[in-house]
Structure 1
């Protein structure tokens, strides 16, 4: 079969399909670790089947905590324009965000980006909303940039299985055209390339025009590097998770066979059966009493197994995870003993710094998404909710001190955590509220304002 021409739709289809398949296979391990589908701890092959239940119980999923600690504080609060004083662009951008249910949709994309390294936002024209924005899974979408032009996308591929028709479908997005293909759904384990054919859609011309004029995806990359794509938050700690599981498995084996003290007895005759074989004289259990008729019989027990070594080893590994991922140790260990507010803030400093770093690259994808939807970057700057958790008393005290320095009230409201929409509403209400407050103060101090009256004599004269 002849190879497709370079940069033709078929060439992009085959190229991106191969890259997507490879990346999905490589990142599946991180998805498994997040879902607590860890490899079972190592045991001798003959011992794996009898102790499989204990091995499955030994999986303690710290990977989920690492990811959720980051994603739980990534929340878009609104949009803020640097050039539009009326706030109309901010309101329009936020309305589009809400119409597309992106409060939850963005969180899903952030989660997948933290697990697998990348996620995407697809922008497509919509008659009702103007533009539809949907989060896309990294196993279904991949993009490729233009060589030598950072930030410019050359092509994208979206791949999915149509459950209604049992077809493998894909769409190739180029800056000027959109092409659709389909193939029979591959069987499990089949490594052959799909036999693609053009996908005909009722009422839609194959190879339709791309009305956006750009590849319609915003890429949300987690911890990318200059020559490498985004990477999973779990990339450096899956081995430590395996160590923890192995330690727990060993501890459970010890608990099963050595935590109950073994008994011993001397000075008594061991009974035998009819064949002359020794018979165990006692059925040892927690609710049993051992008795012997011989005068010289003596009972005792060996010391129970010490589990403290296992517990310390596990705790040391958990501290390694906390240090490598900048996750506060008390999130993973679940213990907080006499920690002051300053100590808690210091413990979370690494996590807060990591969140600010991750947001820089997520912002690039979100801003591109909003630009594709018709909002210039200066009209849709992303406003995030603060990742720092502080008590209201601490926050109010800081804001009061800032106000004495002449900081504008809108900035104080933003520092308080108000969204751009709340700030705009407060701005409209503040003048009326201030006028009412001032009127109340004047009335309390000087009494009600006198009203003009007309003397009766003067009134008669005027008549």
Structure 2
């Protein structure tokens, strides 16, 4: 068991630098290593970090379109399960799931742990890959063990999850921060059996290829282009500071020096002052200001490449100019982005279905491997309420059930669907003049 704890701890330590780098890019705090010493000296302390943060936009533009709206259990293919959705909401997963998507897109993976809370009800928590690591069976790729490790109260804490038992540890030595957590030297605090029979840790993996079991960051393809764009913008600012403003010159003037031999400026820079000289041979002139159009053109080219690799449409990148795109043009431009979201719904949906299976297993005491669960998503396409209502009305005209229209076309949650159905029943009874109180008595 200690060997397994060390293996997973070492994995956390090994992946920490790469995850910290991705975290810096997402936050726009990556080092400005592209600045030349001359540019850095010219800027001084006025521009320590410049980030045109397209990596974050590449993540947020996808994450904001991934919204879980329910789960369907086996044998109930028409409506999402209301009880399961109630558990989901009690665990505040509407917001936590969005955070899991963001971390998975940034780091390549995030994790969800399902267990029984103090009241015996299912407890769902979303975890960061900076604290959680898993090992998989090379043959089946199923999770065989998982570790969560963190720092609190001057000690390291860890929980090792296995299919048959869950063990909690505390470090023997005191630690100052999460960066100094040990991989050995742990004492067992408690050990409890795992009645689920599976590791209750579900990875949410942004997988690009079969062997990328730990996922790949959605920002990976645009990081170098983002650095190049930041360099161009920094160079443009240096140029605007020193060369984009006209420089004046004068000849035929006597150079006056102060007591220390330093030249004295012959003219004031006040706007209302007039420059004049008594010597008729004096001449004044002005150098032509440097043009910034080259930086703008290169910046636009890099932005287009970022859009092509990240599926970001032109109107997200500010490439449409002053003319706003039409609704049809927006849908056409977002086709690749929407297709990417549908792909992620398939990938993430399987993981969320695994989470729902564990929730039902904890709640009902059943074997999670025997359950069939489908994740229900909101439509990732950009549609106005009028367009969504029009599509729903057309489908209703061919006999599509109301509950499916409310969930699939209008993106309502199970609770909202139940509210609409209850309102329709109440309205129908009121129209028929039925007195429910009289019937009940």
Q: Same fold (TM over 0.5)?
A: yes
Query: In the alignment, which of 78, 82, 85 is matched to residue 94 of structure 1?
Result: 85
Q: Would you say 1:142 and 2:127 are equivalent positions?
A: no
3-state SS of the aligned residue for 1:170? strand
Query: In the alignment, which of 83, 87, 101 is matched to residue 75 of structure 2?
Result: 83
Q: Would you say 1:24 and 2:29 are equivalent positions?
A: no
Matches within 5 A, 1:285-324: 286=271, 288-324=273-309
Q: 1:47 to 1:255 in 2, by over 3 A?
A: closer
Question: Is contact 2:247–2:289 with CA below 8 Å preserved after alignment?
Answer: yes
Residue of structure 2 in register with 1:126 after alignment: 117
- Give me the CA root mean square deviation: 2.8
Q: Would you say 1:395 and 2:388 are equivalent positions?
A: yes
Query: In the alignment, which of 342, 360, 364 is matched to residue 346 of structure 2?
Result: 360
Residue of structure 2 in register with 1:427 after alignment: 421
3-state SS of the aligned residue for 1:38? coil
3-state SS of the aligned residue for 1:37? coil
3-state SS of the aligned residue for 1:149? coil
Tell which deviates more after alignment, 9-18 or 287-296: 287-296
Q: 1:177 to 1:280 in 2, by over 3 A?
A: same
> In 1, Cα distance between the equivalents of 2:297 and 2:232?
10
3-state SS of the aligned residue for 1:264? strand
Query: In the alignment, which of 185, 188, 201 is matched to residue 196 of structure 1?
Result: 185
Question: Is contact 1:41–1:55 with CA below 8 Å preserved after alignment?
Answer: no
3-state SS of the aligned residue for 2:382? coil
3-state SS of the aligned residue for 1:53? coil
Deviation of residue 309 (structure 1)?
Answer: 0.9
> In 1, Cα distance between the equivalents of 2:85 and 2:178?
44
Could you tell me which runs of 5 or more consecutive residues in structure 2 were left unpaired when the two chains were aligned: 362-367, 434-441
Question: Is contact 1:109–1:120 with CA below 8 Å preserved after alignment?
Answer: yes
> In 2, Cα distance between the equivalents of 1:274 and 1:52?
30
Q: 1:263 to 1:432 in 2, by over 3 A?
A: same
Q: Would you say 1:329 and 2:314 are equivalent positions?
A: yes
TM-score (norm 2): 0.87
Q: Would you say 1:222 and 2:214 are equivalent positions?
A: no
Deviation of residue 336 (structure 1)?
Answer: 5.6
> In 2, Cα distance between the equivalents of 1:188 and 1:73?
35
Q: Deviation digits for residues 42-79 of structure 1, max 9, x if unmatched?
A: 34447635634344253222222221111112211122
Could you tell me which runs of 5 or more consecutive residues in structure 1 were left unpaired when the two chains were aligned: 1-8, 201-205, 440-463
Number of aligned positions between the proteins: 422
Question: Is contact 2:156–2:182 with CA below 8 Å preserved after alignment?
Answer: no
> In 2, Cα distance between the equivalents of 1:189 and 1:344?
45
Residue of structure 2 in register with 1:458 after alignment: none
Residue of structure 2 in register with 1:175 after alignment: 163
Matches within 5 A, 1:252-263: 252-263=237-248
> In 1, Cα distance between the equivalents of 2:43 and 2:340?
40
> In 2, Cα distance between the equivalents of 1:286 and 1:373?
73
Deviation of residue 138 (structure 1)?
Answer: 0.7
Residue of structure 1 in register with 2:234 after alignment: 249
Deviation of residue 281 (structure 1)?
Answer: 2.5
Question: Is contact 2:72–2:374 with CA below 8 Å preserved after alignment?
Answer: yes
> In 2, Cα distance between the equivalents of 1:198 and 1:189?
18
Tell which deviates more after alignment, 419-428 or 187-196: 187-196
Q: 1:367 to 1:433 in 2, by over 3 A?
A: same
Deviation of residue 251 (structure 1)?
Answer: 0.9
Tell which deviates more after alignment, 50-59 or 303-312: 50-59
Residue of structure 1 in register with 2:143 after alignment: 153
Residue of structure 1 in register with 2:266 after alignment: 281
Q: Would you say 1:413 and 2:406 are equivalent positions?
A: yes
Deviation of residue 289 (structure 1)?
Answer: 2.8
Deviation of residue 306 (structure 1)?
Answer: 0.4
> In 1, Cα distance between the equivalents of 2:162 and 2:100?
23
3-state SS of the aligned residue for 1:373? helix
Query: In the alignment, which of 11, 33, 44 is matched to residue 3 of structure 2?
Result: 11
Residue of structure 2 in register with 1:370 after alignment: 356
Question: Is contact 1:40–1:55 with CA below 8 Å preserved after alignment?
Answer: no
Q: Would you say 1:339 and 2:328 are equivalent positions?
A: no
Deviation of residue 405 (structure 1)?
Answer: 2.5
3-state SS of the aligned residue for 2:334? helix
Q: 1:358 to 1:85 in 2, by over 3 A?
A: closer
Deviation of residue 287 (structure 1)?
Answer: 5.1
TM-score (norm 1): 0.83
> In 2, Cα distance between the equivalents of 1:95 and 1:46?
60
Tell which deviates more after alignment, 349-358 or 52-61: 52-61
Q: 1:287 to 1:143 in 2, by over 3 A?
A: farther
Deviation of residue 403 (structure 1)?
Answer: 2.7
Question: Is contact 2:27–2:56 with CA below 8 Å preserved after alignment?
Answer: yes
